[in-house]
């Protein structure tokens, strides 16, 4: 519309004002853009005449004017380095000629010798050269050739009726506005042609992306990255953590995008930035670089000063062992992870209650500090409460497919849906987040995705939204041939970035020493567990949490025992036989002590009082070992030692639950031991 209005105005100017006044206005209007060079020539002549009146026959002025002429010409050449070579040379010649004539005119006079002739001939010549350059600046033929080239490309890929609008060219990124034929083409048509566009431009398929306009079905941005800047691997130890000593609210930098910009994500929310808190799902096939990606993120997290970190790793901390001193609680898989999940369930409401009492609608950096602001006081009188802060809390489940196989598909559902409101984030890492590995409910609750190479498009669909795949994201094209290549979908990152590939940094053997340094620094300077989280965790995990040893290791814990020494120093009497008087008569037989009849269950039947004592001892034994989630199968060895049956144990479990010593879990037949002090 604006273009038609301009053409109409131009046509009106050509047709209107046929009298002499109208013709004069039209000529002046057309001449105005070409006047600056002529004004420059006139100004130079006037300056020469005035300069001669002041500096005639002055040797000092001659030196000064000569130096000024040389300096001005050099400055013009330097300033034109960002323009074309022709424009730079043209500008330098014009300034050099004008300043040389001005110097001669000021010293000898504008009419001395050939100066007046040079002025009359060279001045108009230079002005006209700039007029010609201005006229040729608009080249409809060249524009037509460019448009024809674009049309040729679009025609080749089946988008002949599409038009290319405004185009932005960056250092390694070309973004073009694309408009499709109304009623005949949609954004889906562009998505289908992306591989053909990459073929026409001789680029990798992942170098061409399309971001549809959410408010239009036929408009969007075509993004082309000519050069893959991810080909050169970057070692993590070259730079280390991006912001050691900073806050977890600052971006976590884990690599770079293919155009060289940083690959970043956030876990806490930010109401001012309009960013929601999120959990993170990490997935990728074996050899895709998922382990190095996890180390990038973990070292970023542990280098911040207001975050608490828990880790579950069924692989025995194979990749993360150098970082253990910085981790508040680290457990291996199986029953220990089961205890951690139950603990997180109890920690969530405790932390949520604290945030509510201190007037935080969501966790923010101020919540991690001592509460000296009356606006965040839990006191009813409105004065500052001075309560200890509540650090952000991250719970990381490595190789979660193994844990979910033991705990069940719904193990993470409740904590995934509620943890964000408690200032907590879950990081779940596994190879393939298919429905047989993780429930759809849990997967949907993990809002952010870090997807490394996968074996096929089906696996990519489990990780990436359909809109991102349609825009050109295809991690299956890398598989495990390009370790570290990934896609990041997360709040806080522009949606057009979702389909841009990135690459995480590479951890080598030489990175171990720096990782250990980061861990030791974090152990001294990082956040300590807050009273609210510690109390809630101890109420569920008991000694499994209160006696955790993640910040120090026992050097002799894994050394084999000296068998000869045990034989020489160990007691000669079985501990179970201590206190038995060898002269005392043997006790009478009890029911079940003899061989069972057909259909009768093995094992004796203790009295109710003895049953409560025996079972209480068993629960205390499990609690001392840190095994806080139990079921009938966990009592197998204990039943053998005490000559009791598993069916007897099942009855005792139900009785203990009624007494408050056990709490049911989400899994059928599994019970959580309530620590003895908490039960009392």
Q: Number of helices (H) and strands (E), helices first, in the chain? A: 23, 17
- Whole-model pTM: value is 0.64
Count of other CB atoms within 10 angstroms of residue 635:
23
399 and 501 together in one domain: yes
Domain boundary among 85, 113, 137: 137
**CATH number for 625:** 1.10.10
**CATH number for 179:** 3.30.980.40
Q: Is residue 577 part of a domain?
A: no
pLDDT at 398 exceeding the cut of 80: yes
**Contact of 451 with 460, CB cutoff 8 Å:** yes
Residue for token pair 């306009």: 213
pLDDT at 481 exceeding the cut of 60: yes
Residues 226 and 460: their CA atoms lie apart, in Å, by: 24
pLDDT in tens, 288-298: 999 999 999 99
Count Cβ atoms within 10 A of the Cβ of residue 518 and give its class: 0-12 exposed, 13-18 middle, 19 or more buried: buried
pLDDT at 214 exceeding the cut of 50: yes
32 and 66 together in one domain: yes
Compute the half-sphere exposure of residue 64: CA atoms within 13 Å on the CB side of its CA: 8
Count of other CB atoms within 10 angstroms of residue 353:
13
Domain boundary among 482, 514, 546: 546
68 and 217 together in one domain: no
Q: Is residue 384 part of a domain?
A: no
438 and 488 together in one domain: yes
pLDDT in tens, 266-285: 999 998 888 999 999 999 99
Q: How far apart are the first and last CA of the chain?
A: 80
Q: How far is CA 69 from CA 99, 194, 583, in A?
A: 5, 55, 124
Residues 373 and 376: their CA atoms lie apart, in Å, by: 6
What is the token pair recorded at 259?
A: 């155009």
Q: Is residue 164 part of a domain?
A: yes
How much of the chain exceeds pLDDT 70, in percent?
83
Instruction: Tally the domains of the chain.
Output: 4
205 and 281 together in one domain: no
**CATH number for 394:** 3.40.50.300
Q: Is residue 4 part of a domain?
A: no
What's the whole-number average pLDDT of the chain?
A: 81
Q: Is residue 201 part of a domain?
A: yes
Closest CA to 59 of 108, 96, 102, 110: 108
Sign of the Cα pseudo-torsion (432, 436, 442, 444, in order): positive
**Contact of 398 with 293, CB cutoff 8 Å:** no
Q: Is residue 259 part of a domain?
A: yes
- In this prediction, residue 384 carries a pLDDT of 93
419 and 505 together in one domain: yes
**Contact of 227 with 173, CB cutoff 8 Å:** no
What is the token pair recorded at 533?
A: 């989280």
132 and 144 together in one domain: no
- Phi, then psi, of 637 in degrees rounded to 5: -65, -40
307 and 453 together in one domain: yes
Domain boundary among 546, 574, 589: 546
651 and 526 together in one domain: no
295 and 309 together in one domain: yes
- Phi, then psi, of 212 in degrees rounded to 5: -65, 150
pLDDT in tens, 11-68: 555 555 556 666 777 777 777 777 888 888 888 888 888 888 888 878 788 888 888 8
Which domain range does residue 625 map to?
Answer: 601-680
Residue for token pair 């002799």: 556
Report CA 56 to chain centroid distance, whole Å: 71
Q: Is residue 239 part of a domain?
A: no
Q: Is residue 650 part of a domain?
A: yes
Residue for token pair 């923010």: 364
Count of other CB atoms within 10 angstroms of residue 572:
4
651 and 664 together in one domain: yes
Largest Cα–Cα distance in the chain?
Answer: 145
95 and 122 together in one domain: yes
């Amino acid at each position: 519309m604006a273009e038609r209005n301009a053409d109409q105005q131009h046509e009106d100017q050509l047709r209107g004002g046929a009298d002499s006044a109208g013709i004069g206005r039209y000529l002046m209007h057309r001449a105005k853009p070409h006047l600056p060079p002529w004004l420059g020539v006139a100004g130079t002549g006037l300056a020469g005449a005035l300069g001669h009146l002041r500096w005639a026959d002055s040797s000092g002025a001659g030196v000064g004017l000569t130096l000024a002429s040389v300096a001005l010409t050099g400055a013009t050449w330097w300033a034109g380095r960002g323009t074309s070579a022709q424009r730079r040379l043209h500008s330098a010649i014009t300034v050099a000629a004008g300043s040389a004539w001005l110097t001669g005119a000021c010293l000898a006079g504008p009419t001395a010798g050939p100066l007046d002739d040079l002025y009359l001939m060279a001045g108009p010549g230079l002005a006209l050269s700039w007029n010609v350059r201005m006229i040729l600046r608009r080249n409809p033929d060249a524009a037509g050739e460019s448009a024809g080239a674009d049309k040729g490309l679009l025609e080749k890929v089946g988008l002949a009726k599409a038009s290319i609008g405004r185009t932005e060219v960056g250092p390694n990124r070309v973004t073009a506005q694309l408009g499709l034929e109304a009623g005949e083409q949609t954004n889906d048509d562009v998505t289908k042609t992306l591989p053909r566009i990459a073929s026409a431009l001789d680029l990798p398929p992942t170098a061409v992306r399309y971001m549809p306009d959410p408010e239009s079905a036929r408009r969007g941005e075509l993004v082309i990255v000519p050069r893959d800047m991810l080909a050169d691997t970057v070692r993590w130890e070259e730079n280390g953590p991006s912001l050691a000593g900073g806050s977890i609210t600052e971006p976590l930098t884990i690599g770079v995008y293919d155009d060289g910009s940083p690959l970043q994500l956030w876990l806490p929310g930010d109401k001012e930035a309009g960013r929601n808190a999120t959990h993170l799902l990490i997935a990728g096939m074996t050899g895709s670089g998922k382990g190095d990606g996890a180390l990038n993120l973990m070292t970023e997290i542990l280098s911040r000063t207001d975050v608490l970190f828990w880790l579950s790793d069924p692989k025995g901390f194979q990749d993360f062992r150098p970082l253990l001193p910085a981790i508040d609680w680290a457990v291996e898989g199986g029953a220990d992870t089961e205890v951690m999940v139950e603990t997180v369930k109890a920690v969530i409401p405790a932390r949520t209650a604290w945030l509510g009492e201190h007037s935080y609608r969501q966790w923010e950096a101020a919540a991690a500090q001592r509460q000296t602001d009356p606006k965040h006081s839990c006191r009813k009188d409105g004065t500052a409460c001075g309560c200890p802060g509540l650090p952000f809390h991250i719970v990381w489940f490595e190789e979660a497919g193994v844990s979910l196989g033991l705990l069940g598909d719904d193990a993470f559902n409740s904590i995934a849906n509620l943890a964000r409101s408690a200032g907590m984030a879950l990081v779940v890492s596994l190879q393939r987040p298919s429905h047989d590995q993780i429930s759809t409910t849990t997967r949907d609750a993990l809002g952010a995705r870090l997807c490394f190479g996968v074996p096929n498009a089906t696996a990519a669909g489990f990780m990436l939204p359909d809109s991102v795949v349609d825009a050109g994201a295809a991690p299956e094209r890398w598989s495990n041939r390009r370790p570290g290549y990934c896609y990041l979908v997360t709040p806080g990152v522009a949606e057009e970035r979702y389909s841009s590939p990135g690459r995480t940094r590479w951890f080598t053997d030489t990175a171990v020493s720096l990782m250990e340094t980061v861990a030791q620094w974090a152990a001294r300077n990082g956040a300590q567990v807050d009273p609210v989280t510690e109390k809630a965790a101890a109420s569920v995990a008991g000694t499994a949490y209160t006696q955790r040893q993640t910040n120090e290791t026992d050097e002799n814990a894994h050394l084999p025992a000296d068998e000869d020494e045990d034989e020489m120093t160990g007691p000669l009497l079985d501990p179970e036989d201590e206190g038995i008087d060898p002269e005392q008569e043997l006790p009478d037989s009890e029911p079940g002590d003899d061989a069972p009849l057909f259909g009768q269950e093995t094992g004796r039947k203790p009295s109710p009082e003895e049953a409560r004592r025996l079972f209480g001892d068993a629960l205390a034994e499990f609690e001392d070992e840190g095994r806080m989630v139990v079921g009938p199968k966990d009592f197998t060895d204990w039943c053998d030692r005490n000559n009791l049956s598993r069916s007897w144990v099942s009855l005792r479990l139900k009785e203990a639950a009624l007494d408050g010593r056990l709490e049911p879990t989400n899994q059928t037949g599994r019970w959580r031991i309530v620590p003895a002090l908490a039960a009392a």
